[in-house]
Copies of this chain bind each other. A is one copy, B any other.
Amino acid sequence: MATRILLSEDEIPRQWYNLAADLPTPLQPPLGPDGKPVSPEMLEPIFPHALIEQEVSSKRWIDIPEEIRQYLARWRPTPLHRAYGLEKALGTPARIYYKNESVSPAGSHKPNTAIAQAYYNKKEGVKRLTTETGAGQWGSALAFSCALVGLECKVFMVRISFDQKPYRKVMMQTWGAECVASPSPDTKAGRDFLAKDPDTPGSLAIAISEAVEAAVTDPKHETKYSLGSVLNHVLLHQTVIGLETKKQLEKAGEKKADVVIGCVGGGSNFAGFAFPFVYDKIAGAQIEIIPVEPTSCPTLTKGPFVYDIGDASGMTPLLAMYSLGHNFIPAPIHAGGLRYHGMAPLVSQATVEGLLAPRAIPQLECFESALLFARTEGIIVAPETSHAIASTIQEAKRAKEEGKEKVIVFNLSGHGLLDLKGYQSYMAGELTDYVLPEEIIRKNLEAIKDFPKPSLAKTGKW
């Protein structure tokens, strides 16, 4: 009755899985301001060649350099846990498993790509990376990775999180990174937004504008930009999560997963965990794959599939994705990592294709679920992760009602030790639910009504 299913260092995957190779319809290309597809060359001021190559690759399997595997071996393979305690508390016939990405030194799945990005940049002579961070998980992960690989790092942190989570900044500084609140006076984009609204809580989109600008305007041309989610290469690097999980389920004697669940903000932890299962689903397996988002930022469940920019001021190309509009200013919920206006193109297109069954859950149910999880499984999860747990509990209860022995697997994307304020507010009864009103979405979408539209025929197979 092993609680954890472990793999050896040798079992860290040797290749990443690229869903772009298997999507029933080809991925809609990113577009430039002129409406024409962005060429790989246009990305060169921002990203190193190796990452651009991965971004546009349609190869199914992409080799992981041995040096990256060595870095990952500092905490990978991560354990897969059987949730006996939670199962017992719910009295469910379902067998619940969770992949524990919280064991990385930065506390989440984010270093899986941060290490890879730092590695490729370093290899191509880059000296410094800039990035944005919402809740701080990504900024911490990149600071950690830059320290190990040997790069400088500057993080633009969404102001509301910067103020709510002062210790995230300390964490990044401890790893040697610089961290400023966004919008900041350090960039033109930041100064413009501050001029419009000096008290803005900021947004991930604004912070992205700043970080991209800071990279491309480096007079020494030694700086590149690094993104923690959304893009194809980022999702690619995260697939070690799902690939390990499948191996571990096999070791646990499970023939297949019936329900696969991950929380979804920009899409990276979800994709990394779920895409190897989407691969099985495309091949014919019966699997329900659920991305879970907050009702306050219901990108996949309420947004349309459109072309929109990835930031707030057009520093990025147009991406074909579900979007609430790039002017979306999210409510200050505690799951700061799930407040992005858009969604990874790969996750978006898999949703259009009917391969995914997205769901939105309000924050009180999420915190209630996280509390039950802490008291039965012993791990205090990040508010983002609590969305995956809430959905898991819904599914486990459904399995009980149906009397079915389902196998439910979710991704525990990060721990909540830097997010205890959320738990404190929840236990003090200070939190409320928030559902983003449809009229706000409609209003935000006005700004993109003249953008090109993606052309994509659903295959209607799933």
A residues near B (Cβ < 8 Å) are 1-4, 6, 8-9, 70, 73-74, 81, 85, 103, 105, 107, 144, 147-148, 166-167, 170-171, 173-176, 371, 374-376, 378-380, 417-418, 420-421, 423-424, 427
Contacts and interface: CB of A to CB of B under 8 A. Distances in A.
Nearest to A166: B424
Contacts of A173: 423-424, 427
A277 to B, nearest CB: 25
Contacts of A418: 417
A377 to B, nearest CB: 8
Contact of A175 (B1, B374, B421, B424): B374
9 contacts: A105-B379, A105-B380, A147-B374, A167-B417, A170-B424, A174-B375, A174-B423, A175-B374, A417-B418
A195 B374 CA distance: 38
B417 A417 contact: yes
B417 A73 contact: no
Given A3-B73, A9-B4, A176 B420 contact: no
Main secondary structure of the interface of A (DSSP, over half): helix
A420 B170 CA distance: 6
Contact of A417 (B166, B171, B175): B171
B9 A6 contact: yes
B6 A380 contact: no
B170 A4 contact: no
B9 A174 contact: no
Given A2-B73, A417-B417, A170 B423 contact: yes
Contact of A3 (B74, B176, B375): B74
B3 A174 contact: no
B85 A148 contact: yes
A371 B417 contact: no
Nearest first, the 9 A-B pairs at minimum CB distance are A167-B420, A170-B420, A170-B424, A105-B378, A147-B375, A417-B417, A105-B379, A174-B423, A174-B374
